[in-house]
Structure 1
Amino acid sequence: MAAAANAAAEVVGSGDGALLAGRDHVVVFPFMAKGHTIPLLHFAAALAAHHGGQLRVTLVTTPANLPFVRRRLPESSSSSVRVVSIPFPAHPELPAGVESTDALPSHSLFPAFLRATALLREPFAAFLASLPSPPLVLVSDFFLGFTQRVAEDAGVRRLTFNGMSAFSLALCFTLASRRPHVDVEDGAAVHVPGFPENVRITVDEVPDAVIQGGNPDDPVTQFLDDEVRIWEHRSAGVLVNSFAALDGDYAAILEALYPPGVRAWLVGPLFLATGESPEDDDDDPEGCLPWLDERAGRPGSVVYVSFGTQVHLPAAQLDELTHGLVESGHSFLWAFGRSDATWSPPVDAGTAGGKIVRGWVPQRRVLSHPAVGAFVTHAGWNSVLESLAAGQPMLAWPVMAEQGANAKHVADIIGAGVRVDRGRGPGAGVGRAQVAKKVRQLMDGGEESRAIRASAEEAGRAARSAVAENGTSRVALRRMIDELRSSYVDGERRASSKTATPKNGDRGGR
């Protein structure tokens, strides 16, 4: 393997950014969850769009995920991004054919799913070894920690992708390493070390992974400790689906939590970086767009509701949400997602001015529709970015993962939304009165509503500017590729000057 790597490192050209023979290939390996896969599909498409002729892009997936990947890969890049599948390993706790988190019959199987993905190490190593020469870089999800070892063995740098903002990622790492006291009883806000003085958090805003990290018996924590964290901090950089105007203040905080020289590359929003418009997605099996068209005569009159594909809300909470939407007095379109499939609405949504759908929804097109005026969201980062890009204010209703931190980012830092108060203790939830009040707060056009909407629209303009020619994200993408290329050149020059080959993990002087 070392001989092959050395042979592939012949310099063509000179100076920073010189292209190495064989180092013209980027391999992208997403985690098998829709919210993790889609951004890296967009990343692959953005590379193909902006580095066409200079880079080849291969996206790795597994057989059962292949149809989704091919369907969701932007059409303009479908011929320029190679998609390959490697076999998903059998696991005794998983049903046959389950290869993505949304296909799990129960969330309790998620730890088993994680352990199954770790068994992908051997087939992925075989794939990488089958390439005629080592790629320029491997971009892989943080859950796939084994890819760092495979990349090091192949003499390839790896960038890790977490699917989070720089703000939330820096918050997670800082709290996990320092664990400042958060007063659970009275909800007091505490300052986060290393963050600006005005950034203070409560226990509701602490990401789940940090809270669970204090429990050594938690199976996800065990997996992260054994398979992810040590390898995460050996990566050459972090790919962040965000942009400087939104997240730039936190990039340096994030970089300081990694070894010296690791960069956080803010290259998003990746769905905008592809150059595709929302209209390129024509898949609307539930008829959401015609329904919205019927309401286009009243701009901004519809509330869009979605909690993504992974969030589960109890039936009683779904009932309260429905009543609250009806009592707000505004029409609503609710993409029901994966919540309890047996639940039935307590009122007829159609007669109440609403529409509830259970299938695929073209969310970017919905958010950009003139009839839509606000978004009730779980505050997953992909949804936050899509809402901001469309200039839509949010009612952030965090449920899991880092969504509480995202909600804080949206409401308190960007100023583009408001948050629900979920309460504390057994049976805590969000009542219908609060739902109705918060929806009206965003939709009724008062001074506060106008200020929130203005902040959302400003963020949307900044997002589009970031991916334009010479925008911050477009420039970051180019610099990332150039620095990766030059790091191999510099590493080979140092090796030549010492007449010795560096060890696999040490290329580029890390």
Structure 2
Amino acid sequence: MMSSHHNPHVVLFPFMSKGHTIPLLQLARLLLLRRGVALTIFTTPANRPFFSKSLSDVVDAISLIDLPFPENIPGVPPGIESTDKLPSMSLFPAFAAATKLMKPHFERALNALPPVSFMITDGFLGWTLDSANNLGIPRLVYFGMSYFSSVVSRSVTSAGLILKPNGDDEAFTVPDFPWLSVTRNDFDAPFRDREPKGPLFDFVTEQMVATVNSHGLVMNSFCDLEHVYMEFYNRNLVPKSWPVGPFCLAEPRRKPPPENQEKPSYIKWLDGFHEQGKQVLYVAFGSQAEISPEQLREIKVGLEESEVNFLWVVRTHESELDGFEDRVKNRGLLVREWVDQREILGHPSVNGFVSHCGWNSVLESICAAVPIAAWPMMAEQHLNARMVVEEMKIGVRVESCNGSVRGFVKSESVEKAVRELMEGEIGKSARKKVKELSNSAINAIKEGGSSWLKLDELINEFHAKMKKNPDM
């Protein structure tokens, strides 16, 4: 990799979690579309194979550097270097704190690189701000959140409203957006706690302080998707943000495999339904959500009773389902392996998505023009679900039995949501709206589109500063 003051040199450092890594690897592709941009990406030894495979067609244009992951960390099992391998998400604070021990290795590696125009590091790696300041490199932050969830969270917490309702499901109005109502249950710990404290609260606070003191925020979004919330953010909050997504559209469509190489079994299964002219529902809740055995049983019954065709991605420990697979074998498939979600959503047979509403999944569904049955599980997913159903109107909500956004969902609600999405009038309307948004997303990322221009603006702004100050 060649770099000079005449060419921008960008450093990317994703957090060690698939949901954080994948979008930054997609952003790497967007950066490589800019002629002359040199790119360095940091990872760890155990994560490197995933990076190399994901970027196999462009790996020669990238410098990929391994940093040793800390060993003998209390609470973190040996050999684990990614959160999706943790036996429980209760170990997350210990895992995240351990990444700070990578700092001296990171700084030594940065010192050995050609001059860096700017770095984009994950919001969970707040300690990289100190490294960036030590070496005179502007740090920009990537958080895998929408503008909507970001500004609604800030609006509610800054007004102290999240602490006022007596009940967790008592609705109140968002001050800066009076057309929106939310509940305490729409927010995850530690934001919803009346007296927030503990390792997770300390970690989140530390990352927020580091973000505010960084040079900018890179957003996986685009102007037409959430213009009102983007404008509010850039008028009222810091640091400055650049909407340059959807990142996933930078990935090339998977080419058909050579004749001597088989397609994945789940794609061949979808092909069969497409040949019959039948629609399929995709069901996936991400790699981090922890679903109880009781809730899994209700999902199983709801899908079985709905009579829709479905492909359900489950984790190994969730897959003992009492003969369920035999009963639905003619119209349902359970997949226990890592899947290419974009390939599934882009398959012509897939016409609906039961999703936890992680922001990556929402964007991938929009780009594939597939409507969503929203079933949030954790983090800011409950706010994303409100955006999907109430703001964008590209889906339906999977309702709990007691009306709480965090309540238990009975099989009847699963069946109702699935049928409405795949066959009902709301589903038809959502399908039309998501198609419009899909077209807007494609246009945003094209040369001359809003996201294309914003990324150019970002690169030019920070590279120009470096050229003025070669010692950065």
TM-score, normalised with respect to structure 2: 0.91
Name the counterpart of 2:321: 344
Deviation at 1:128, TM superposition (A): 1.3
> Is 2:169–2:404's contact at 8 Å kept on the other side of the alignment?
no
Does 2:409 correspond to 1:430? yes
Name the counterpart of 1:44: 28
SS in 2 for 1:131: coil
SS in 1 for 2:384: helix
> Is 2:184–2:192's contact at 8 Å kept on the other side of the alignment?
no
Q: Of residues 127, 130, 134 in structure 2, which corresponds to 1:149?
A: 130
Deviation at 1:137, TM superposition (A): 0.5
Return closer, same or farther for 1:250/1:20 CA change in 2, 3 Å cut-off. Answer: farther
> Is 2:188–2:379's contact at 8 Å kept on the other side of the alignment?
yes
SS in 1 for 2:140: strand
> Is 1:157–1:236's contact at 8 Å kept on the other side of the alignment?
yes
Equivalent residues in 2 for 1:463-474, closer than 5 Å? 463-474=441-452
Name the counterpart of 2:301: 323
Letter in 2 for 1:277: R
Percentage identity across paired residues of the two chains: 36
> Is 1:170–1:250's contact at 8 Å kept on the other side of the alignment?
yes
Instruction: In structure 1, list runs of 5 or more residues that go unmatched.
Output: 1-18, 494-500, 502-506
Letter in 2 for 1:216: P
Return closer, same or farther for 1:402/1:132 CA change in 2, 3 Å cut-off. Answer: same
Name the counterpart of 1:203: 184
> Is 2:5–2:467's contact at 8 Å kept on the other side of the alignment?
no
Q: Of residues 415, 439, 443 in structure 1, which corresponds to 2:422?
A: 443
Return closer, same or farther for 1:373/1:94 CA change in 2, 3 Å cut-off. Answer: same
> Is 1:284–1:360's contact at 8 Å kept on the other side of the alignment?
no
> Is 2:121–2:140's contact at 8 Å kept on the other side of the alignment?
yes
Does 2:245 correspond to 1:268? yes
Does 2:237 correspond to 1:237? no
Does 2:16 correspond to 1:32? yes
SS in 1 for 2:47: helix
Return closer, same or farther for 1:323/1:286 CA change in 2, 3 Å cut-off. Answer: farther
Deviation at 1:77, TM superposition (A): 1.9
Equivalent residues in 2 for 1:470-489, closer than 5 Å? 470-488=448-466
SS in 1 for 2:22: helix
Return closer, same or farther for 1:99/1:92 CA change in 2, 3 Å cut-off. Answer: same
Return closer, same or farther for 1:397/1:425 CA change in 2, 3 Å cut-off. Answer: closer
Cα-to-partner distance string for 1:82-112 (whole Å, 9 max, x where unaligned): 1111111121322221111011122221111
Cα-to-partner distance string for 1:112-133 (whole Å, 9 max, x where unaligned): 1011012222211111122243
The CA distance in 2 between the partners of 1:38 and 1:253, in whole Å, is 28
The CA distance in 2 between the partners of 1:140 and 1:280, in whole Å, is 34
The CA distance in 2 between the partners of 1:426 and 1:410, in whole Å, is 14
The CA distance in 2 between the partners of 1:414 and 1:281, in whole Å, is 36
The CA distance in 1 between the partners of 2:152 and 2:459, in whole Å, is 27
Does 2:17 correspond to 1:21? no
The CA distance in 1 between the partners of 2:106 and 2:122, in whole Å, is 13
Name the counterpart of 2:347: 369
Name the counterpart of 2:40: 58
Cα-to-partner distance string for 1:261-289 (whole Å, 9 max, x where unaligned): x3211111111134x12448999985111
Return closer, same or farther for 1:147/1:347 CA change in 2, 3 Å cut-off. Answer: same
Does 2:176 correspond to 1:194? yes
Name the counterpart of 2:83: 101
Q: Of residues 409, 426, 436 in structure 2, which corresponds to 1:458?
A: 436
What is the alpha-carbon root mean square deviation over aligned residues? 2.6
Does 2:95 correspond to 1:113? yes
> Is 1:265–1:476's contact at 8 Å kept on the other side of the alignment?
yes
> Is 1:172–1:207's contact at 8 Å kept on the other side of the alignment?
no
Letter in 2 for 1:344: L
Greater shift in the superposed pair: 448-457 or 380-389: 448-457
Return closer, same or farther for 1:361/1:269 CA change in 2, 3 Å cut-off. Answer: same
Letter in 2 for 1:289: I
> Is 1:172–1:209's contact at 8 Å kept on the other side of the alignment?
no
Return closer, same or farther for 1:281/1:241 CA change in 2, 3 Å cut-off. Answer: farther
Return closer, same or farther for 1:142/1:277 CA change in 2, 3 Å cut-off. Answer: same
SS in 2 for 1:231: helix
SS in 1 for 2:46: helix
Letter in 2 for 1:429: F
The CA distance in 1 between the partners of 2:466 and 2:114, in whole Å, is 17
The CA distance in 1 between the partners of 2:335 and 2:432, in whole Å, is 30
Instruction: In structure 2, list runs of 5 or more residues that go unmatched.
Output: none
> Is 1:86–1:124's contact at 8 Å kept on the other side of the alignment?
yes
SS in 1 for 2:324: coil
Name the counterpart of 1:251: 230
SS in 2 for 1:63: coil
Deviation at 1:202, TM superposition (A): 2.5
Name the counterpart of 2:370: 392
Name the counterpart of 1:416: 394
Name the counterpart of 2:204: 224
Return closer, same or farther for 1:454/1:438 CA change in 2, 3 Å cut-off. Answer: same
Does 2:108 correspond to 1:131? no
> Is 1:322–1:346's contact at 8 Å kept on the other side of the alignment?
no
Return closer, same or farther for 1:337/1:475 CA change in 2, 3 Å cut-off. Answer: farther
Deviation at 1:177, TM superposition (A): 2.7
The CA distance in 1 between the partners of 2:154 and 2:19, in whole Å, is 21
Q: Of residues 68, 84, 102 in structure 2, which corresponds to 1:87?
A: 68
The CA distance in 2 between the partners of 1:300 and 1:152, in whole Å, is 56
Letter in 1 for 2:225: L
TM-score, normalised with respect to structure 1: 0.85
